[in-house]
Amino acid sequence: MFKKYLLYGFLGTSMGFILARIGFADYDEINKMFAFIDTRMFLTFAGSVAIIMVVGLVLRSHFPRQDKFFQPGTLPGSMLFGFGWAVTGACPSLVFVQLGQGKIPAVMTLFGIYIGVIFYRKIHSRYLMWDVGSCNSA
Amino acid sequence: MEYWTWWIGAIALGFFTVFYSLFTGKPLGVSGSWLSIARRKDDAILKASIETLARDPNEIKDELMAMTMAEFGEDFAQDEFSTDTTKQNEFDSSTVKITAAGAKLDFTPWTVHAFFLGSMFLGSYLASLSTGEYSLSLELSAMHARIFENTGEAWIALFFGGMMVGFGTQMAGGCTSGHGLSGCAQLIPASLMSTAVFFGSGTALTLLMNFRL
């Protein structure tokens, strides 16, 4: 189990460092991306996807498959996430990057994300109950 | 902070995602880590189930078969699973194959997921220190301060925005990493649509907010 902490700790630190150096957690950069003022972030994202795609094809026998499928929440959930991203400049990982950069207001985003996740799980288990296939949860 | 050019960023993020998948055996998906923390109380049940399956796969199989019979009736189970048509009345669950038997079932506790998320904080802090630009700030950014004119308004917006992020990513079954990076790279239709929608809605709201300025 210690190895697992070590591995995920290393991966988390690397991811935080990379996202910070790209500028993904900078609200101004996110705003410029969404407003089509600067294409740097779009190109970074698209370039990353292209690299993962090529390496994934080359190493396809070793590469884990993503388990994603259409479900009733795909469209409204994605739309809601996009609105939230535009307001906070954060996705579930970027909020930690913002905090690491000393952005104190991101505490509110962190708190909001946690409440949002709990709130959705409660609604889902009581009323919705479809399989959302959320990734990497076990 | 002077940011990396797009191609350096793409190489770093692309190869990081590849290494993450290869080392953990799972595609990158941060909303899954949040989910794991949210349902941390289920960890004990999940761990016990995996241990039982690893110890005796037939125990789980018999439990599942008993539940199937209780739900759909004995006839259904016999019709669906019995391979010996001459012994329809003597159903034997050992004839049912278990595809998971012998498979290595991995279990990552919620504390590891929390550690992973917390490590991102450290990585970002180190990045800020390395460029000598770390500072505590009560504003998210200059543009954010222009859009949300007073601090109270900005903080309330961040809280509700965060709720939309948390609720939305769980509802959509993924976020920028799960749908955007991992899913799009495998050309999964749901991920392609999800990514197009969250980029689209983010763009629409940003243009609306900027228009007000």
How many beta carbons lie within 10 A of that of residue B48, not counting itself? Answer: 10
Residue B157 and residue B144 in contact, taking contact as beta carbons nearer than 8 Å: no
Q: What is the pLDDT of residues A17-44, one digit of tens each?
A: 999 999 999 999 999 999 999 999 999 9
How does the average pLDDT of chain B come out, rounded?
85
Provide the pLDDT for residue B54. 75
Task: State ipTM.
Answer: 0.93
Q: Which pLDDT band, with edges at 50, 70 and 90, does A136 fall under? A: very low
Q: Is the pLDDT of residue B212 over 90?
A: no
Residue A135 and residue A68 in contact, taking contact as beta carbons nearer than 8 Å: yes
Question: Over pLDDT 90: what percentage of chain B?
Answer: 58
The predicted model scores a pTM of: 0.84
**Can you tell me the mean pLDDT for B39-68?**
78
Provide the pLDDT for residue A33. 95
Record: contact B10-A87, CB cut-off 8 A: no
Q: Is the pLDDT of residue B198 over 90?
A: yes
B104 or B66: whose pLDDT is higher? B66
Chain pair A-B, CB pairs under 8 angstroms: 494
Q: How far is it, in rounded angstroms, from Cα B194 to Cα B172?
A: 7
Provide the pLDDT for residue B93. 53
Q: Which pLDDT band, with edges at 50, 70 and 90, does A83 fall under? A: very high
- Residues 32..91 of A with a Cβ closer than 8 Å to B: which? 34-36, 39-41, 43-53, 55-56, 59, 62-66, 68-71, 73-91
Which of B135, B173, B169 shows the shortest CA–CA distance to A103?
B135
Q: For CA atoms A55, B16, A32, A110, give the dihedral sign.
A: positive
Chain A residues whose CB is inside 8 A of the B176 CB are 85, 91-94
Residue of B nearest to A32 (CA): B206
Q: For CA atoms A65, A69, A75, A80, give the dihedral sign.
A: negative
Q: What is the pLDDT of residues B69-123, one digit of tens each?
A: 877 777 776 666 655 555 445 555 555 555 544 445 667 889 999 999 999 999 9
Q: What is the pLDDT of residues B20-48, one digit of tens each?
A: 999 999 899 899 899 999 888 888 887 77
**Can you tell me the mean pLDDT for B166-185?**
93
Q: Is the pLDDT of residue B145 over 50?
A: yes
Record: contact A88-B161, CB cut-off 8 A: yes
Q: Which pLDDT band, with edges at 50, 70 and 90, does B141 fall under? A: very high
Q: Which of A13, A51, A81 sits opposite B175 (nearest CB)?
A: A81
Q: Which of B135, B162, B188 sits opposite A113 (nearest CB)?
A: B162
Q: How far is it, in rounded angstroms, from Cα A5 to Cα A8?
A: 5
Provide the pLDDT for residue B159. 97
**Can you tell me the mean pLDDT for A37-52?**
96
Q: Is the pLDDT of residue A131 over 80?
A: no
